[in-house]
């Protein structure tokens, strides 16, 4: 693997970011670049990054034999933002910076995870077999994190039958989604489909990017654990379905709104089904109402307001005559 870059998006969670930095320092393989996008533009975060950069230099040295396109040799790049652009805007900017510096692989993650010491080594073993790779994640309790690795284009929802369990002898699973908690992709992906779409702000941006990556290359889920979630989230087990996590009213708005962005990208590839999309919207509402009733009951009224607000915005996006996809970079 040549020139792997870790792209981190952080916002007002310095304790978690410091924990992530500590885990990166324990990596067996040195990253070529670590790009830290700070959506808060915080002095405290800047100090954390400066200390991290010093420790990384002491561990692995600068890349004096492989400078980037700007001529820089420091492995750590700090990118404070003038405003909070959400996870989507942060990943768009972080991937852009790493791309322009000359990165060949991009390992993207939020600040509330910790990487496994052999995480990059595990991903490296699969680099010649795929264009985008999703490693396994451990949940806060240490168990395997439940993730639906297939996205239903007919309904514009995650396929609930695509469980990340493994059969004997199964090497990997082909995906049409990614998660920006450890999603890993090669340079040819932004070459062909552009940067992650910042208009999502939060939620479904990674599913969309995985879908687009699957249209121009091979996307796989591997059995290797590459990172763990370090932030506990309230949840409820729902039968054989893994769980429903607590979420915020702000996220609820984007859950319904951002379905329209997915639909616009599905239209590009002739996979938009208006009837299926409508039924998928009904299923999304049903799931979110269940979440409100059994996990976030105290937000029932405000949560429904935000879901409806997002739905209204989604109709505008779906019928916007000026909408365009993110442009390819090459």
pLDDT at 240 exceeding the cut of 70:
no
- Tens of pLDDT, residue by residue over 139-177, are 888 888 877 889 999 999 998 777 667 888 899 999 999
Q: Which backbone phi and psi does 155 adopt, to 5 degrees? A: -105, -15
For residue 201, what pLDDT is reported?
A: 97
Instruction: Classify residue 148 by burial, with Cβ atoms within 10 Å: 0-12, 13-18, 19+.
Output: buried
Would you call 312 helix, strand, or coil by DSSP?
Answer: helix
For residue 155, what pLDDT is reported?
A: 95
Q: Are strands 4-10 and 105-110 parallel, antiparallel or unpaired?
A: parallel
Report the alpha-carbon distance of residue 213 to residue 36 in Å, rounded: 23
- What is the mean predicted confidence (pLDDT) over 272-279? 97
Q: Among residues 281, 179, 191, 202, which one has the least CA distance to residue 248?
A: 202
pLDDT at 236 exceeding the cut of 60:
no
Mean pLDDT of the chain: 94
Report the alpha-carbon distance of residue 76 to residue 62 in Å, rounded: 9
Tokens linked to 83: 């405003």
For residue 167, what pLDDT is reported?
A: 84
For residue 9, what pLDDT is reported?
A: 98
Q: Which backbone phi and psi does 110 adopt, to 5 degrees? A: -80, 180
Domain ranges in the chain? 4-235, 236-318
For residue 219, what pLDDT is reported?
A: 98
- What is the mean predicted confidence (pLDDT) over 118-139? 96
Q: How many CB atoms lie within 10 A of CB 111?
A: 26
pLDDT at 222 exceeding the cut of 90:
yes
For residue 136, what pLDDT is reported?
A: 93
For residue 149, what pLDDT is reported?
A: 87
Q: Across-strand partners of 138?
A: 144, 228
- Tens of pLDDT, residue by residue over 72-96, are 999 999 999 999 999 999 999 999 9
Q: How many CB atoms lie within 10 A of CB 63?
A: 17
pLDDT band at 235, cuts 50/70/90?
low
pLDDT > 70: percent of the chain: 96
- Tens of pLDDT, residue by residue over 280-320, are 999 999 999 999 998 888 999 999 999 999 999 999 999 99
Q: Indicate the CATH number for domain 4-235.
A: 3.90.550.60
Find the farthest-apart pair of alpha carbons in the chain and give their distance in angstroms, rounded.
Answer: 58
Report the alpha-carbon distance of residue 118 to residue 120 in Å, rounded: 6
For residue 268, what pLDDT is reported?
A: 96
Q: Which backbone phi and psi does 182 adopt, to 5 degrees? A: 100, 10
pLDDT at 239 exceeding the cut of 60:
no
For residue 317, what pLDDT is reported?
A: 98
Tokens linked to 219: 């996307």
For residue 231, what pLDDT is reported?
A: 85
- Tens of pLDDT, residue by residue over 38-60, are 999 999 999 999 999 999 999 99
Q: Calculate the CA 279 to chain-centre distance.
A: 26
Report the alpha-carbon distance of residue 65 to residue 18 in Å, rounded: 28
Yes or no: say if 320 and 287 are a contact pair by the CB < 8 Å rule. no
Q: Which backbone phi and psi does 119 adopt, to 5 degrees? A: -60, -50
């Amino acid at each position: 693997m040549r020139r792997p870059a870790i792209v981190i998006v952080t916002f007002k969670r310095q304790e978690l970011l410091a924990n992530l930095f500590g885990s990166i320092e324990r990596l067996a393989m040195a990253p070529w670049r670590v790009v830290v996008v700070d959506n808060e533009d915080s002095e405290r975060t800047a100090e954390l990054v400066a200390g991290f950069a010093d420790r990384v230099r002491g561990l692995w040295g600068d890349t004096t034999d492989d400078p980037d396109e700007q001529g820089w040799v420091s492995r750590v790049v700090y990118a404070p933002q003038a405003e909070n652009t959400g996870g989507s805007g942060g990943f768009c900017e972080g991937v852009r910076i790493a791309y322009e510096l000359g990165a060949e692989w991009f390992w993207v993650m939020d600040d509330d995870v910790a990487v496994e010491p052999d995480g990059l080594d595990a991903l490296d073993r699969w680099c010649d077999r795929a264009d985008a790779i999703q490693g396994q994640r451990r949940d806060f309790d240490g168990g395997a994190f439940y993730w639906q690795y297939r996205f239903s284009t007919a309904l514009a929802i995650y396929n609930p039958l695509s469980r990340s369990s493994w059969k004997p002898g199964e090497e990997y699973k082909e995906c049409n989604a990614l998660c920006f908690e450890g999603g890993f992709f090669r340079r040819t992906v932004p070459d062909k489909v552009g940067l992650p779409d910042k208009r999502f702000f939060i939620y479904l941006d990674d599913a969309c990017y995985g879908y687009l990556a699957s249209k121009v290359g091979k996307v796989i889920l591997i059995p290797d654990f590459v990172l763990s979630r370090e932030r506990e989230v309230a949840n409820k087990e729902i039968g054989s379905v893994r769980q429903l996590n607590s979420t915020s009213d702000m996220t609820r708005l984007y859950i319904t709104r951002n379905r329209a962005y997915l639909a616009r990208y599905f239209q590009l590839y002739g996979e938009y089904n208006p009837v299926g999309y409508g039924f998928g919207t009904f299923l999304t509402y049903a799931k979110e109402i269940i979440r409100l009733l059994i996990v976030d009951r105290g937000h029932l009224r405000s949560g429904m307001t935000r879901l409806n607000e997002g739905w209204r915005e989604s109709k505008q996006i779906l019928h916007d005559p000026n909408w365009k996809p993110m442009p390819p970079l090459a």
